[in-house]
Structure 1
C-alpha cells in the first residue's frame, strides 16, 4: 500500500500548466512541521519542517489554480512517487513527489468586502477525488 496524508502550508504560489485537451497539472510545495519538545533531561529538541513536492492533476489542478495561494493550509492525501533525471552535465538527480488524490482547503474563507465582485468568493472546503493519469 502506498498512502500518504499531509497537513501543511503552501510555500509559494502553485504552478499550473495545461496540456492535451484542456487537461491541467499543478505543482506546489507544502511545508509540514513537527513541533519541538523537551526531553526529560532538559534538552530542547527544535521544531522540524519538511518540504514536500505535491503534484495534482485534472480537476484538482484547476481547483488549485483558482483557490490555492502561498500560505494556505491544505490537507493532501495521495501516494509517494519517485523519479530521477539527468541534467545537462550528466548528473543524476532524484525527486520524491506526492501525487495527490484528494485535497481539502483548511484555510478560512477570506472576508468579502462590498466592493468585491459577486461570485468571486472561494468555497470553504473544496474536496475532490482525482487520480494521476498514469
Structure 2
C-alpha cells in the first residue's frame, strides 16, 4: 500500500509576536499565527481579497530560531504537515501546521523589532522520523500548550 503525502507550503506574514513555551524536558515549542491572502474576481468582475489565518507550531531548534528571529509583521516561507486535533472531553477541534522548514523573507527592517535576519533556516533532519521521535519521547500531552 502506498503512503500518503501530507505537505503544506505557506508564504505569509505573522499576525502577532511568537508564543514560546517549553516542555518539562526543556524542548522549545513556538506558536505563530500566519496570514496568507489571495485575490479572485467575483461574478461581476470585482476583485475580492480573502485572508486565511494559520496556526503554525515549531518544535526544538527550529522553535528556538523562530522565537528569536520572527516578529509581528515578518514575512516567511514555511513547509510542514497539517494536523487536526480534538480536545479530550470537548467538542473543540484545532487545525495546525507542524513546521519542519522555515525561510525568512523580506528585509532586515521588516517586522516590529527589526532583528537580524538569516536567509534560510531549514530544520536539520538526521532522522526521517524526527517529529515522531519528539512526539513520542519528549512531548507529554500535559506539556503541550494549546491556543
TM-score (norm 2): 0.73
Instruction: Decide which structure has greater helix share.
Output: 2
Cα deviations by residue, 1:15-41 (Å, 9 ceiling, x for unpaired): 0111233310000110000123365xx
- Asked if structure 2 preserves the Cα contact closer than 8 Å seen for 1:82 and 1:95, the reply is yes
The separation in 2 between residues aligned to 1:68 and 1:101, in whole angstroms, is: 15
Tell me the distance in 2 between the aligned counterparts of 1:94 and 1:59: 27
User: Over residues 36-83 of structure 1, what are the superposed CA-to-partner deviations in whole Å (9 max), with x where a residue is unaligned?
Assistant: 3365xx431410110000010001110011100000001010000000
Q: Which has the higher strand share?
A: 1
Alignment-derived partner of residue 30 in structure 1:
34
Give the unaligned 5+ runs of structure 1. Answer: 112-119
Alpha-carbon separation, structure 2, partners of 1:106 and 1:71: 11
Corresponding residue SS for 1:124: coil
1:1-134 aligned at under 5 Å gives the runs 1-37=5-41, 42-85=44-87, 91-110=90-109, 121-129=116-124, 131-132=130-131, 133-134=134-135
Q: Is the 8 A contact 2:34 2:55 kept in 1?
A: yes
Q: What is the count of residue pairs matched by the alignment?
A: 121
Runs (5+) with no aligned partner, structure 2: 136-147
